Structure 1
Amino acid sequence: MAISFDKALGIHQYTVGVRSQRAEILASNLANANTPGYKAQDIDFTRALQAATYGANFGLNQTDERHIAATSQIQSQKMYRIPNQPDTGDGNTVDAQVERNLFMQNALGYEASVEFLGAQFKNMSKALGRNE
């Protein structure tokens, strides 16, 4: 009987990737908190997870230099955040406190998914008779 990783790992195999890419976006926002004209970005986590889960990213390989490179589905899901505070005059919309809070929430979700995946792999190893 074959093991179905989709059934065994559930949605967590996809959340790790989406949360990782969201962490990059949030870190970029924090790094550019003092850059004039920088607009804070984020992704709609639910939509990005649905895109990752239902195969929107086909994993296309560019086998010839004349082929058009496939873009990451997450990059196409980026949106600009509506600022919570009035413009300070430099056009930057990053609120460092909001970004730090979102980064921490995202990190906790990432850690929970990794812990779950680790437990699932441990359980599958036990089921296969490999107790380590």
Structure 2
Amino acid sequence: MAISFDKALGVHPQAMLIRSQRAELIATNIANADTPGYKAKDIDFASALKAARSTQQSGNTMVRTNDKHIGGGTHSMGSSESFRLPNQSDTGDGNSVDIQVERNLYTQNAMEYQASLQFLSGKFKGLNKALGSQG
């Protein structure tokens, strides 16, 4: 009997990937806090996760340009990246990064990433225990 990791792990691997991408984006915002004209960006986590779920349920297919190519699929997130609406008025240089907001979002995202990591770790331990009891 084959184990379906998609069913066993659910959407959590995709959630971790989205959280990782979001951490990179927030870090970029922090790095560009003093760059004139830079606009803060973020990933809409709910939209990205919804897209990941629909991709997981429908499956991905890869377009083959030659009959000899191996068929395959991808698991890209289709980033829901967008510009964040600024909380503060324009400071004159066109930069919309609020460093305090970015630090808080980065910390929150890191904690949520760790929670997903711990959840997945528990899932793998359970799978390992189930496979160990078979032998």
TM range (shorter): 0.7 to 0.9
CA distance in 1 between partners of 2:115 and 2:8 (Å): 16
Structure 1 residues 42 and 60: CA distance shift in structure 2, 3 A: farther
Runs of 4+ aligned residues of structure 1 deviating over 6 Å after TM superposition are 61-64
Higher mean C-alpha displacement, 24-33 vs 54-63: 54-63
> What is the match of residue 124 of structure 1?
127
1:84 equivalent to 2:90? Answer no
1:93 aligns with 2:96: yes
Do the aligned residues in 2 keep the contact of 1:87 with 1:93 (CA within 8 Å)? yes
Deviations 1:87-129 (A, max 9, x none): 1100000000000111111111111111111111111111111
TM-score of the superposed pair, with normalisation by structure 2:
0.80
Q: Counterpart in 2 of 1:24?
A: 24
1:51-86 residue CA offsets vs partner (Å, 9 max, x unmatched): 12221894858989xxxxx98611xx2111111111
Show the 5 A alignment for 1:26-45. 26-45=26-45
Task: Summarize the Cα distance change of 1:105–1:120 in structure 2 as closer, same or farther, 3 Å threshold.
Answer: same
- What RMSD over aligned residues (CA atoms) do the two structures have, in Å? 2.5
2:115 maps to which residue? Answer: 112
Normalised TM-score (structure 1): 0.82
Distance 1:62 1:90 in 2: 48
Whether the aligned pair in 1 keeps the contact of 2:14 and 2:77 (CA below 8 Å) is: no
Report the CA distance between 1:40 and its aligned residue. 0.3
Structure 1, unmatched stretches of 5+, are 65-69
- How many residues are treated as equivalent by the alignment? 123
Identical-residue share of aligned pairs (%) = 56
For 2:20 and 2:62, how far apart are their aligned partners in 1?
Answer: 20
